[in-house]
Structure 1
Amino acid sequence: MRTTRYRLILCQFLVLTLSITSQGRPLISDEPSGGIRFFKGSWQQVLAEAKRQNKPVFVDVYTTWCPPCKRMAKEAFPNPKIGSTFNVHFINYQLDAEKGEGIDVAKLYAVASYPTALYITPDGALIHRAVGYGGINGMLDQVEHVLRIPALKATLVKGDKDFANGRRDPEFLKKYLVMRQSLGRPTSDVLDVYLTTLSDSARTAPETIAFIANNLQTTDSQAFDFLIRNRPPVLSADPVKRNLATTVLKAILRTLDNDYKQAVSTTDETLLEKIIANSERNTTSANPFMQRTESIKQEAATSYRLRFFKQTRNFTRYQSIAESEAQSLMAQSVTELHTADSLASIRLQNMMRFMPDSIKNRLASTLAGKPMNDQMMSWKVAHSLCELADTYRQQGSSTASWQIAIPWIERSLVLYRSHESLHTYAQLLHKLGRNQEALTYQKQAIVDAQKAGWPTDEYESELRKMNP
Structure 2
Amino acid sequence: MKKRLLITLLSFATFALNAQGIKFCKGNWATIKAKAKAENKYIFVDAYTTWCGPCKWLSKDIFPQKKVGDFFNKHYVSYKFDMEKGEGVKFAQKYQVNLYPTMLYFTPEGELVHKTVGACAAETLIKRASNGLDAEKQFYVLKRRFKQGERNSQFLKNYIEVLGDAKENLSEPMGIYFAQIDKKDWASNENWAFIKKYERSALSNIFSYVFTNRAKFAEANGSNKVNGYILQVLVRGVKEVVNANNQDQLDAFVKKLQAFFGSDAQRRIARTKHLFYARNQPKSFQYTYDYFDNYCNDVHELNRIASDYCEKFEEQLYLEKALGWVEKSIKLDKRSFNTYTQAQLLYKLKRYKRAKKAAKESIRLAQKEGKSFKNTRKLLNEIKRVM
1:348-407: per-residue Cα shift (whole Å, max 9, x none)?
Answer: xxxxxxxxxxxxxxxxxxxxxxxxxxxxxxx92877765654443232222343245445
**Count of matched residue positions in the alignment of Structure 1 and Structure 2:** 293
- For 2:334 and 2:228, locate their aligned partners in 1 and report how far apart those are by CA, in whole Å: 34
Equivalent position SS for 2:297: helix
In the alignment, structure 1 segments of 5+ residues that lack a partner are 1-56, 61-70, 84-91, 98-105, 130-134, 330-378
Matched residue type, 1:305: K
Root mean square deviation of aligned Cα: 5.2
1:186 paired with 2:169, answer yes
Identify if the C-alpha distance between structure 1 residues 152 and 383 changes in structure 2 by more than 3 Å, giving closer, same or farther: closer
Relative contact order: is structure 1 or structure 2 higher (C-alpha 8 Å, sep ≥ 6)? 1
- For 2:269 and 2:384, locate their aligned partners in 1 and report how far apart those are by CA, in whole Å: 41
- For 1:226 and 1:408, locate their aligned partners in 2 and report how far apart those are by CA, in whole Å: 39
1:293-323: per-residue Cα shift (whole Å, max 9, x none)?
Answer: xxx644433222323444x3x5643333445
1:153 paired with 2:70, answer no
Q: 1:430: how far off?
A: 0.3
Matched residue type, 2:157: K
1:278 paired with 2:253, answer yes
TM-score (norm 2): 0.55
Q: Would you say the 8 A contact 2:241–2:276 is kept in 1?
A: no
- For 1:385 and 1:73, locate their aligned partners in 2 and report how far apart those are by CA, in whole Å: 39
Q: 1:429: how far off?
A: 0.9
In the other structure, the counterpart of 1:4 is: none
In the other structure, the counterpart of 1:223 is: 206
Equivalent position SS for 1:430: helix
1:399 paired with 2:321, answer no
Identify if the C-alpha distance between structure 1 residues 395 and 317 changes in structure 2 by more than 3 Å, giving closer, same or farther: farther
Matched residue type, 1:439: K
Q: Would you say the 8 A contact 1:422–1:444 is kept in 2?
A: yes
Match of 1:127 among 111, 114, 128: 111
Structural mapping, 1:415-434, within 5 Å = 416-434=333-351
Match of 2:240 among 245, 249, 258: 258
- For 1:251 and 1:186, locate their aligned partners in 2 and report how far apart those are by CA, in whole Å: 15
Structural mapping, 1:7-406, within 5 Å = 75-76=62-63, 94=71, 119=105, 127=111, 153-163=140-150, 167-168=151-152, 170-182=153-165, 185-199=168-182, 202-216=185-199, 218-229=201-212, 242=224, 246-247=228-229, 249-260=231-242, 262-263=243-244, 268=245, 270-271=246-247, 274-275=249-250, 277-278=252-253, 280-282=255-257, 284-285=259-260, 287=261, 291-292=262-263, 297-310=265-278, 312=279, 316-323=282-289, 380=297, 389-406=306-323
Q: 1:155: how far off?
A: 4.4
- For 1:95 and 1:385, locate their aligned partners in 2 and report how far apart those are by CA, in whole Å: 49
Identify if the C-alpha distance between structure 1 residues 415 and 136 changes in structure 2 by more than 3 Å, giving closer, same or farther: closer
Q: Would you say the 8 A contact 1:224–1:252 is kept in 2?
A: no
Q: Would you say the 8 A contact 1:309–1:315 is kept in 2?
A: yes
TM-score (norm 1): 0.47
Matched residue type, 2:269: A
- Give me the identity figure in percent: 19
- For 1:76 and 1:282, locate their aligned partners in 2 and report how far apart those are by CA, in whole Å: 42
- For 1:213 and 1:257, locate their aligned partners in 2 and report how far apart those are by CA, in whole Å: 19
Q: Would you say the 8 A contact 1:213–1:248 is kept in 2?
A: no
Q: Would you say the 8 A contact 1:382–1:415 is kept in 2?
A: yes
Q: Would you say the 8 A contact 1:402–1:432 is kept in 2?
A: yes
